[in-house]
Structure 1
Amino acid sequence: MSEAKIQFYKGPAGGWGALRSVARQLLQHRIAAKGSRTLLSANQPDGFDCPGCAWPDRQHTSSFEFCENGVKAVAAEATADRATPQVIGQHTVSELRGWSDHALEAMGRLTEPMAYDPVADRYRAIGWDEAFATIARHLQALPSPDEAIFYTSGRTSNEAAFLYQLFVREFGTNNFPDCSNMCHEPSGLGLKGSVGVGKGTVTLDDFEQADCILIFGQNPGTNHPRMLGELRAAARRGARILSFNPLRERGLERFADPQSPVEMLSGGSTTITSDYFQLKVGGDIALLKGVIKHLLVLDAQAVAQGLPRVLDTDFISGHTQGFEALRADIEAEDWALIERESGLWREQLLHAAEVIARSDKVIACWGMGITQHRHGVAAVQMIANLLLLRGMIGKPGAGLCPVRGHSNVQGDRTMGIYEKPAPAFLDRLQAVYGFEPPRHEGHDTIGAIEAMRDGRASVFFAMGGNFAAATPDTPTTWAALQRCALTVHVATKFNRSHTVLGREALVLPCLGRTEIDQQAAGPQHVSVEDSMSMVHLSAGINEPASDHLLSEPMIVARLAVATLPDSRVPWLWLVEDYDRIREHIEQVFDEFKGFNQKVHHPGGFRLRNTAGERVWVTPSGKAQLFAHPIPTDTAVHQAQAAAHAGAEGRVGGPVFTLTTVRSHDQYNTTVYGLDDRYRGVFGQRRVLFIHADDRAMLGLPAGAWVDLVGAALDDAVVREAKGFLLVDYDIPRGCVAGYYPETNVLVPLANHAVGARTPASKAIPVRLRPAAAPAEAVAA
Structure 2
Amino acid sequence: MKTKKRAVPGIRHYDGPAGGWGALKATAIAVRTQMDALDAPATLLRTNQPDGFDCPGCAWPDKEHKSTFQFCENGAKAVTWEATSKRVTPEFLAKNSVTSLLAKSDFELEGYGRLTRPLRYDRASDTFQPVEWDEAFERIGEILRGLEPDQVEFYTSGRASNEAAYLFQLFAREYGTNNFPDCSNMCHEATSVGLPRSIGIGKGTVSLDDFDKTELVISIGHNPGTNHPRMMGTLHELARRGVPIIVFNPLRERALERFADPQSVIEMATYGSTDIASTYFQVKAGGDAAALKGIAKHLIQMEAEGGNVLDRGFIAEHTQGFEDFAADIARTPWEDIERESGLAQSALKSVAEAYAKSNATIITYGMGITQHNKGTANVRLIADVLLMRGNIGKPGAGICPLRGHSNVQGNRTVGITEKPSAQFLGRLKEVFGFEPPVHHGHDAVAATQAMIAGRSKALLCLGGNFAVAMPDHGRGFKAMRSLDLSVHVGTKLNRTHLLVSKETFILPCLGRTELDLQQTGRQSITVEDSMSMVHASSGKLKPASPLLRAEPAIVAGLAQATLPHTKVSWMALVADYDRIRDLIEKTIPGFEDYNARIRIPGGFRMPLPPTERIWPTPVGKALFSVFQGVDENARGDGENSLRMITLRSHDQYNTTIYALDDRYRGVFGRRDVLFMNEEDMAERGLEHGDRVDIETALPGERQRLEDITVVAYSIAPGSVGAYYPEANVLVPLDYLDKDSGTPSFKSVPVRVTLRSKEIRAL
TM-score by length of 2: 0.97
Q: Distance in 2 between the 1:212 and 1:554 partners? A: 46
Match of 1:293 in 2: 297
Contact residue 27 and residue 73 of structure 2 kept, 8 A:
yes
Contact residue 677 and residue 712 of structure 2 kept, 8 A:
yes
- Residues 266-288 of structure 1, C-alpha deviation per residue, up to 9 Å, x if partnerless? 11111100010111000011100
Matches within 5 A, 1:254-293: 254-293=258-297
Structure 2: distance between partners of 1:472 and 1:772 = 28
How far apart, in 1, do the equivalents of 2:438 and 2:268 lie?
57
Q: Distance in 1 between matches of 2:633 and 2:221?
A: 18
> Aligned equivalents of 1:731 and 1:750: distance in 2?
27
**What residue is the counterpart of 1:731 in the other structure?**
715
Within 5 Å, give how 1:93-132 maps onto structure 2: 93-132=98-137
- CA distance 1:773–1:15, shift in 2 (3 Å): farther
**Aligned residue for 2:641?**
655
Matched residues in 1 for 2:655 and 2:761: separation?
28
Specify which of 648, 667, 671 is matched with residue 681 of structure 1.
Answer: 667
Q: Is 1:30–2:29 an aligned residue pair?
A: no
1:650 aligned partner: none
Cross-structure match for 1:340? 339
Structure 2 segments unaligned to the other structure (5+ residues): 1-7
- 1:538-617 aligned within 5 A: 538-617=537-616
User: How far, CA to CA, are the matches of 2:580 and 2:700 in structure 1?
Assistant: 48
Q: In the TM superposition, what whole-angstrom CA distance separates every residue of 1:282-315 from its partner, at most 9, and x where no partner exists?
A: 0011100000000111122235xxxxx2111110
Matched residue SS, 2:722? strand
Distance 2:211 2:528 in 1: 19
Q: Is 2:636–2:642's contact at 8 Å kept on the other side of the alignment? A: no
Q: Structure 1 CA distance, aligned partners of 2:761 and 2:660?
A: 18
1:174-253 paired onto structure 2 within 5 Å: 174-253=178-257
Report what 2:3 is aligned to. none
RMSD of equivalent CA atoms? 1.5
The answer to whether 1:166 aligns with 2:170 is yes
Q: In 2, Cα distance between the equivalents of 1:147 and 1:695? A: 47
Give the Å deviation of 1:632.
3.8
For residues 614-633 of structure 1, the aligned pairs below 5 Å read 614-632=613-631
1:713 aligns with 2:717: no
Q: How do 1:400-415 and structure 2 match up within 5 A?
A: 400-415=399-414
Q: Does 1:452 align with 2:451?
A: yes
Distance 2:587 2:659 in 1: 42
The residue number in structure 2 matching 1:51 is 56
Q: Please tell me whether the aligned partners of residues 54 and 530 of structure 1 are also in contact (alpha carbons under 8 angstroms).
A: yes
Q: Residue deviations 1:596-643, cap 9 Å, x none?
A: 0111111100011011111000011000000112344833x242xx32
Q: Report the 3-state secondary structure (helix = DSSP H, G, I; strand = E; otherwise coil) of the residue aligned with 2:737.
A: coil
CA distance, structure 2, for counterparts of residue 731 and residue 356 of structure 1: 25
| C-alpha distance 525-478 of structure 1, shift in aligned 2 (>3 A) | same
Following the alignment from structure 1 to structure 2, what is the Cα–Cα distance between the partners of residues 456 and 773?
47
Q: 2:276 & 2:185 partners in 1: Cα distance?
A: 31
Letter in structure 2 aligned against 1:698: R
| C-alpha distance in 1 between matches for 2:530 and 2:549 | 27
Tell me how far apart the structure 2 counterparts of residues 540 and 345 of structure 1 sit (CA, whole Å). 51
What is the CA distance between 1:692 and its match in structure 2?
A: 1.5
Q: Is 2:708 aligned against 1:698? A: no
1:778 CA drift (Å): 10
Q: Could you tell me how far 1:89 is from its partner in structure 2?
A: 2.6
User: Counterparts of 1:245 and 1:403 in 2: how far apart (Å)?
Assistant: 15
2:513 alignment counterpart = 514
Match of 1:744 in 2: 728
Task: State the Cα deviation string for residues 140-171 of structure 1 (Å, max 9, x = none).
Answer: 001x2100000000000000011110111000
682 and 550 in structure 1: CA distance in 2 versus 1, 3 angstrom threshold: same
* Post-superposition offset of 1:774: 12
Equivalent in the alignment of 2:490? 491
Separation (CA, whole Å) in 2 of partners of 1:124 and 1:55: 39
Contact 1:408 1:530 in 2 (8 A): yes
Match of 1:234, SS state, is helix
What is residue 322 of structure 1 aligned with on the other side?
A: 321
**Does the Cα contact within 8 Å between 1:45 and 1:61 map onto a contact in 2?**
no
Question: Do 1:66 and 1:258's aligned partners in 2 also have CA atoms closer than 8 Å?
Answer: no
1:58 counterpart SS class: coil
**Shift of the alpha carbon at 1:468?**
1.4
Q: Aligned residue for 1:311? A: 310
Distance 1:18 1:148, change over 3 A: same
The equivalent residue for 1:764 is 748
CA distance in 2 between partners of 1:409 and 1:123 (Å) = 30
Determine the structure 2 residue equivalent to 1:425: 424
* Partner Cα separation in structure 1 for residue 665 and residue 599 of structure 2: 42
Query: How is 1:323-402 mapped onto 2 (pairs within 5 angstroms)?
Result: 323-402=322-401
CA distance in structure 2 between the aligned counterparts of 1:756 and 1:59, rounded to whole angstroms: 35
Query: 2:290·2:631 contact (CA, 8 Å) conserved in 1?
Result: no
Rounded to whole Å, the distance in 2 between the matches of 1:371 and 1:632 is 14
Aligned counterparts of 2:519 and 2:658: Cα–Cα separation in 1: 35
Separation (CA, whole Å) in 1 of partners of 2:359 and 2:578? 44
Give the distance between the partners of 1:52 and 1:148, measured in 2 at CA.
Answer: 29
Q: Are the counterparts in 1 of residues 49 and 70 from structure 2 also a CA contact under 8 Å?
A: no
* Structure 2 residue aligned with 1:648: none
**What is the identity, as a one-letter code, of the residue corresponding to 1:770?**
L
Please give the alpha-carbon distance, in whole angstroms, between the structure 1 residues aligned to 2:603 and 2:570: 26
**2:306 pairs with one of 289, 302, 305:** 302
Aligned to 2:10: 5
- TM-score with structure 1 setting the length: 0.95
SS of alignment partner, residue 338 of structure 2: helix
Q: Does residue 72 of structure 2 align to residue 73 of structure 1?
A: no
Q: For the residues of structure 1 that align with 2:736 and 2:698, how far apart are their CA atoms?
A: 13
Given residue 751 of structure 1, which amino acid in structure 2 is its aligned partner?
Y
**Offset at 1:700?**
2.2
Task: Give the distance between the partners of 1:129 and 1:551, measured in 2 at CA.
Answer: 15
Cα distance in 2 for partners of 1:313, 1:89 equals 70
Aligned mates of 1:774, 1:659 — CA distance in 2: 29
Question: Which AA in structure 2 matches 1:111?
Answer: T
SS at match of 1:738: strand
2: distance between equivalents of 1:560 and 1:178? 19
The alpha carbon displacement at 1:41 in A equals: 0.2
CA apart distance, 1:31: 2.7
Write the distance in 2 (CA, Å) between the matches of 1:85 and 1:15.
41
Structure 1 residue 91 and structure 2 residue 81: aligned?
A: no
Instruction: Provide the rounded CA distance (Å) in 2 between the counterparts of 1:479 and 1:150.
Output: 19
Distance 1:778 1:148 in 2: 52
Amino acid in the other structure paired with 1:584: L
Aligned-residue sequence identity (percent) comes to 53
Range that drifts further, 592-601 or 3-12: 3-12
The CA deviation string for residues 175-212 of structure 1, in whole angstroms up to 9 with x for no partner, is 00000000000011110100000000000000111110
For residues 737 and 124 of structure 2, the distance between their equivalents in structure 1, rounded to whole angstroms, comes to 42
Counterparts of 2:237 and 2:171, CA distance in 1: 45
Determine the C-alpha separation between the residues in 1 that align with 2:679 and 2:347. 22
SS of residue paired to 1:681: coil
In the alignment, the residues of structure 1 paired with residue 122 and residue 697 of structure 2 have an alpha-carbon distance, to the nearest angstrom, of: 40
Cα distance in 1 for partners of 2:631, 2:525 equals 46
Tell me the distance in 1 between the aligned counterparts of 2:572 and 2:667: 51
